[in-house]
Amino acid sequence: MTQQELRVAVIGAGMAGKAHAAGYRTASSIYSTTLPNIRLVSIADANVQLAEETAARFGFERFDTSWQAIAEADGIDVVSVVVANFLHREIVEALLASGKHVLCEKPLSDTIEDAEAMIEAAGRAATNGTIARIGLTYRRSPGVAHIRDLVQSGELGKVLHVTGHYWTDYGSNAQAPISWRYKGPNGSGALADVGSHLTYLAEFVAGSDFADVRGGQLSTVITERPKPLGAIVGHEGGAVSDEYEAVENDDIASFSGSFIGGGTATLQVSRISQGHPNTLGFEVFCEKGSLLFDFRNSGEFKIFTPATSGDISQEAGYRTITIGPKHPYWRGGLAMDAPGVGIGQNEGFVFQARAFLEEIAGIPEEESLPRCATLEEGLHNMQLIDAVAQSAAADGATVAVPVLAPVQN
């Protein structure tokens, strides 16, 4: 690596891998021109056709058919790891050992033991200046970031309660083929997949981590699925056989919990909610008002403050705020950055890539976007998910959530 150039690869060419690739492609075009030249080197995937097509689509120089080729390559500095969770540890450790900076998709791994080992590997790599981070992309939605700022300002008083849901329908078709997403212990299904997003968002907007969880419930509604006849990419279907395999993990999950800083939360997630392809929303209830956000309308948020007159029934209600240049990430982060032009989930991957590249390039934190989350934060998220699974296994008992570990790098 030189100060003039950062050479990038992405391991995994599925849905999220494409989002990472697009993020790196666009990162240099937002905000100021402080980044060094970004060279898009390789997309790696065991699916040869998918790797080739994704590399061509996003302007990468070549494609590879194994993650080992990326780890062994001398001409690569920065790598996103966007593959099945159980593969994360082996790949991330090998990349860090070869001196490459790593951005790993959430969840950090499929087991807490592997996540802890990855943190140890990151600590060793940090002594040589190598950076390892995890992508918690939804934090970078301008509306979400602004809601956090409002809560942190104290303008609305203390947080009393957060309620949230993440409903998806990718598993609602009982004839959709079995894949790695449906394998693993209870808690590794919808809870780990989409619940990981909702849980870190709840902590993010509340400004406090969970102290404990309770009332955990995990349900498997579709108990078996047909075997695929070919490769499965993302949530796409495909031809299936007449042989079935058991679904091992949860389709639906819910729980309540308490924050360390005070206040409570109630969260629910699902992968079988027909009519909701990607519905994530939450409300934050505070002493002096409330805030509401729905990712289906991510260019706005709603705020409620009590009426000032005596006739509350006539004036009470949420006000809709259109997001624009005065809100986080917006000015310069969009090519057309006027208020109300719209924003979505894809832009979060651009902001994420930009933040990671800024840190690697040595741009001071005060001159950069907020840093990407540490692997310790990724482990904390897994421990929170595990606590919910433990609560469910114990008929809803209260389970303490481990305190976020100190950062090793």
Question: Is residue 216 assigned to a domain?
Answer: yes
Average pLDDT score over residue span 370-385: 97
Q: 95 lies in which domain range?
A: 5-137
pLDDT on residue 271: 98
* pLDDT band for position 408 (cuts 50, 70, 90): low
Asked if residue 57 and residue 70 are part of one domain, the reply reads yes
Output the DSSP codes for 76-116: --EEEE-S-GGGHHHHHHHHHHTT-EEEEESSS-SSHHHHH
Q: Quote the CA–CA distance of 293 and 353 in Å, as a whole number.
A: 24
Q: Quote the CA–CA distance of 149 and 134 in Å, as a whole number.
A: 22
pLDDT > 70? residue 313: no
Q: What is the CATH number of the domain that holds 335?
A: 3.30.360.10
Of 137, 165, 193, which closes a domain?
Answer: 137
Share of the chain above pLDDT 90, in %: 89
Asked if residue 217 and residue 146 are part of one domain, the reply reads yes
Q: Quote the CA–CA distance of 399 and 392 in Å, as a whole number.
A: 10
pLDDT > 90? residue 239: no
pLDDT > 60? residue 2: no
Question: Is residue 377 assigned to a domain?
Answer: no
Each residue's pLDDT tens digit, 260-294: 999 999 999 999 999 999 999 999 999 999 999 99
Question: Is residue 397 assigned to a domain?
Answer: no
Each residue's pLDDT tens digit, 103-152: 999 999 999 999 999 999 999 999 999 999 999 999 999 999 999 999 99
Average pLDDT score over residue span 93-103: 98
pLDDT on residue 310: 58
Of 88, 105, 137, which closes a domain?
Answer: 137
Question: Is residue 268 assigned to a domain?
Answer: yes
Average pLDDT score over residue span 72-87: 96
Asked if residue 200 and residue 88 are part of one domain, the reply reads no
pLDDT on residue 238: 78
Asked if residue 188 and residue 70 are part of one domain, the reply reads no
**Which whole-number Å values give the CA distances from 209 to 262, 339, 376, in the listed order?**
10, 32, 13
Q: Quote the CA–CA distance of 361 and 365 in Å, as a whole number.
A: 11
Each residue's pLDDT tens digit, 166-206: 999 999 999 999 998 999 999 999 999 999 999 999 999 99
Stronger pLDDT, 235 or 105, i.e. the higher one: 105
Question: Is residue 307 assigned to a domain?
Answer: yes
pLDDT on residue 314: 57
pLDDT on residue 370: 97
Task: Give exposure, 325-357, as e/b (b: 16+ Cβ within 10 Å).
Answer: eebbbbeebbeeeeeeeebeeebbbbbbbbbbb
Of 122, 137, 152, which closes a domain?
Answer: 137
Asked if residue 171 and residue 31 are part of one domain, the reply reads no
Number of domains into which the chain is organized: 2
Question: Is residue 374 assigned to a domain?
Answer: no
pLDDT > 80? residue 234: no
Asked if residue 50 and residue 167 are part of one domain, the reply reads no
pLDDT on residue 291: 98
Q: What is the CATH number of the domain that holds 49?
A: 3.40.50.720
Mean pLDDT, the chain, integer:
94
pLDDT > 70? residue 307: no
* pLDDT band for position 1 (cuts 50, 70, 90): very low
